[in-house]
A = this chain, B = another copy of it.
Amino acid sequence: MNVNLQTHLTTGQFAKLMNVSKDTLFHYDQIGIFSPEIKDENGYRYYLINQMDVFNVISTLKELDMSLNEIKNYLDRRSPTELISLLENKKEALERRIQTLERRRTMIMEKTFLTKRATSIDVSAITIEQVNEERLFLTNAAPFLGDKSIYESMLKHQHSLKKHNIDAPISSGWMLNSNKIKKNQVFSYDHLFTRVGKASSKSNFVKKEGNYLTAYHTEGYSSVRKTYEKILNYANKTGRTIEGYFYEDVLLDELSVEGYEKYLIKIAVNVVV
C-alpha cells in the first residue's frame, strides 16, 4: 500500500484537525457519507488533506440544521444552482434563529438584572421609582369570579400572544385600575400585559414614564390585595395622588423559586408627586 504518513492523516489526526471525535469519523464512514480516501489492508483509515473541503461542507450543512441523510442527498445531486437555492433557504432559517437567540439574550439580561435587584431589595419598603416608558401588549381580563376567571384570562392572553406571534416575551403581569382600589370596589384585574420591547410593532399600550410608588409582596397571590391597600394608605398619608393603573410584576418566579407562595411580586402605580 502506498501510504505516506507525511501526506496521509490517520483517523485520530484528521479528527483533531477537524475538531471532532474519532467516533464521528467512524460513524460517517459507516453510513457512507464520508469515507477515507485510503483503507489499508490492516483496516487503517487514511484521509487526505484535501478531504477537509468535503468534511467542511458536511459540517457547514450540519450547522444549517440538515440531517446527515439530507446532507448525503444534497451531496449526491449537488450543483451550483442547487447550492444557491439551498443557501438562500438556509440564510433565512439562520436569520430567524439569530433573532430568536437575540431575543433570548435580552430576556436573559433582563432576568439577571431583575433577579439581582430582587435579591438586594428591601421588600418591606415603599419607594418611589423613576421609570422609563415601556411598550406593552394588553388583553382584557375576565371579570373576577374566582380562580376560574384568572385561568380564563391567562389562557386568553396566551392565545392572543400566539395569535400575534409574540414569542419569547420579556415579562408579563397584571394591571388594575387604581380607581377601583380608591373607591374600595371589588378587587378585580383589568388587563394582562406583556412587555414587547421598544422596537416592536406589536404593542397596543404605552406605560408612560414617570414616578411610580412601588411596594413588594412576598406572601403569595392570595393575599396580594393587602399590598395594594398599603400603597394606597401610604399615598394618602404622604399626600400624593395616585393615577392610572397599578402594575403587578413578578420578580422572582419559577425560574428561581418553587411555587407561587414564594414569588416576589412587585406592585407599582404612577404618582403625581
Contacts and interface: CB of A to CB of B under 8 A. Distances in A.
A63 interface: yes
A102 interface: yes
Contacts of A255: 57, 60, 78, 83
Given A6-B148, A63-B104, A94-B108, A83 B49 contact: no
Interface stretch (A84-92, A183-191, A199-207, A231-239): A84-92
Interface residues of A, number: 63
B104 A101 contact: no
A155 B5 CA distance: 13
Nearest to A63: B104
A31 interface: no
A133 interface: no
Query: How many chain copies does the complex carry?
Result: 2
A56 B162 CA distance: 14
A49 B157 CA distance: 11
Given A147-B7, A151-B7, A105 B115 contact: no
Interface string A74-114: 01001111111001101100110110011011011101100
Tell me if A's interface is mostly helix, strand, loop or mixed.
helix
Nearest to A169: B56
A147 B151 CA distance: 72
A142 B253 CA distance: 61
A258 interface: yes
Interface in A143-171: 147-148, 150-152, 154-155, 158-159, 162
A206 to B, nearest CB: 26
A41 interface: no
Nearest to A102: B98
Given A60-B104, A91-B105, A91-B112, 4 more contacts: A60-B255, A84-B115, A87-B108, A101-B101
30 contacts: A17-B155, A17-B159, A17-B162, A49-B150, A49-B151, A49-B158, A50-B154, A50-B260, A53-B254, A57-B255, A63-B104, A75-B258, A79-B256, A80-B256, A83-B255, A83-B256, A84-B112, A84-B115, A87-B108, A87-B111, A87-B112, A87-B115, A91-B105, A91-B109, A94-B101, A94-B108, A98-B98, A98-B101, A98-B102, A98-B105
